[in-house]
Structure 1
Amino acid sequence: YGTNDTRRIVVREARHPVPDEASEAAAREILASVQGLGPDDLVLALISGGGSSVLSLPAPGLTLADKQATNRALLASGLDIRTMNAVRRRLSGIKGGKLAAAAAPARIVTLTISDIPGDDPAAIASGPTLADSYAAMDLSDAIARLEGRVPPAVIERLRRAEPPPVVARAEVRMIATPGMALQAAAAVARDAGLEIEILGDDLEGESANVGAEQAALALAGRDRPTVILSGGETTVTIGGGKAGRGGRNTEFLLALGRALDGAPGVWGLAGDTDGEDGASGGGAGALLAPDTLHRARALGLDVAVSLANHDSGGFFDAIGDLVVTGPTRTNVNDFRAILVTPQA
């Protein structure tokens, strides 16, 4: 909400990451807008991350409340984004190519900004305009994690794999991707005289584990100042306890800091390129410096406790190292950079 400043384009704002009534109303309006088109008509679809929430139409037999409960459970489940979006498609009346099927026989051109590891266009915003290549996906692991935390109607629907809608005359073009963002950052770093190591734009896994793994890489030693870049989308498994403030990037960075333990000459930056890292309290991410843990201890903060409570956003906010950008109006997933400078 609060980003509607266009003059000629009708904007329908809705809630993210958990859909609201406006999400359902927008989905119904868009679905109605493509009814009755002919073969000479063109539908231009601009799709980016977050669309799964702001374009939310419950499948027959489900309600918005069912979808809201499921989204909350998914966000705390630790499931990867592909599996989460496969769940969302099975519960949706518009995702997984259903919008494209409703527009037939019109031609559909999708311009997309990828926030998905691997850049699968059918997974971005759960693919409303593209054929559902995940329709037959085995969701048994997701069902096991969600059962008891979502309404029974949701579990029943997830157990039924239905044939995907037929999607014809559909084209897709990538406008921006995580890999493009890493290459742009690498160019800036190279101009500054730094060596570049790119770990990949599709890293996944538990945020704290990935942070510890990248700390080991940073501590391996370098002969020249080097920046280690990576993208992708890690996960945070909340479990049954109450979580504090934080997102996958601040949790990654705090775990990185714990493993580095104040190592000299190593700095870190991690953030979500859309400007909002989960529940970090308005932060896009955070910064890490060699003196981060020292400054935190002086304030009575305990790294292990903050990680256990998933309160990484609160931790970095307290020491003044939360990065606040506001909405960036793009989303190419997470961005991580670790600067390593050799010590004499």
Structure 2
Amino acid sequence: MKKLFTPFEKGSLKLKNHLVMAPMTRSRAIGNLPNELMAIYYAQRSGAGLIVTEGTSPSPEGLGYPRIPGIYSEAQVAGWKKVTDAVHQNGSKIFLQLMHTGRISNVANLPDGLQPVGPSNIKAAGEIFTDSLGMQEHSVPVALTQEGITRVIADFVNASKNAILAGFDGVELHGANGYLLEQFLNPNVNNREDKYGGNIINRSRLTLEITEAIAAAIGPDKVGIRFSPFSQLSDQGAYDTEEVHQTYTCLSSELDKLGIAYIHISTNPEIPEKTYKAIREVFTNTIIICNGLTPETAEEKLLDNSADLVAFGRGFLANPDFISRIEKNVPQNDVDFSTLYSSGEAGYTDYPLYTSK
């Protein structure tokens, strides 16, 4: 049997196999509330040893996109409880991804009276979809004050506690894709002159303070984080290659000291091998690798010990029985890109299971 399909155990993380369903925004949370349709979607895909949910906002100001779920109200906790119950029935674990979009937002996507925030007041280039106005430019963010940063940390901690109340096995901090945590890491976006800006230590401070506070609240074994070194998504822009390398090596080393469960690396072609090796060397707990994998290359990553777990996105998106399909080596459904972010079951819960002819 391939290692992909065998049980996994490292530290306190115990899974029925080595396969992870990657987080994917699907925009089905009407009114920002998790619902029955979402419970069906995740339950269909609970062949995965670990599911990481779509990005979920820890606070109203983090709701950058239309119809993304939150985890800051009692109603949202109750909605998510339906999801976790459904997933646990099939023996899978599920972590909630906490995603504060920061400057990648428009006021039309936020509750009345709120504005997007960021490390600085640097507006992101490009546009974002809104349900009420269609495509709109990103709004100019309000630079977070020290009081605002303290509030953001408290929001993440409260959201993590709510996640545990909702039955999640842990939370994953979204530190990739140009959202709030990565905005602080990147000097092109963060021009602060206080203790949260400037050198690598200062730019890493918010990520580490949030992680440490959450670990203290729910336990470090229930905390993971997602990174994508060298990514330029969301108008981040490139910065010095060695500085990027040192940023993520330093961060990974400090996170290891906190004893968190895993680092989830969203790969891209710009990441040099030395950065993967450095993270692997300084971080002793679980490493998850995601993006561009095939079942064959995923198996190789597990066998050569460059990853402990492997994550797939599109495969799970279009194939509720993805694990069964790769185990049997049968064809997979194609992704319907026209329904990725629509609001109903089409292209969400209606992908067919494989039946031999």
User: What TM-score, normalized by structure 2, do the two folds share?
Assistant: 0.28
Higher Rg of the two aligned structures: 1
User: What TM-score, normalized by structure 1, do the two folds share?
Assistant: 0.29
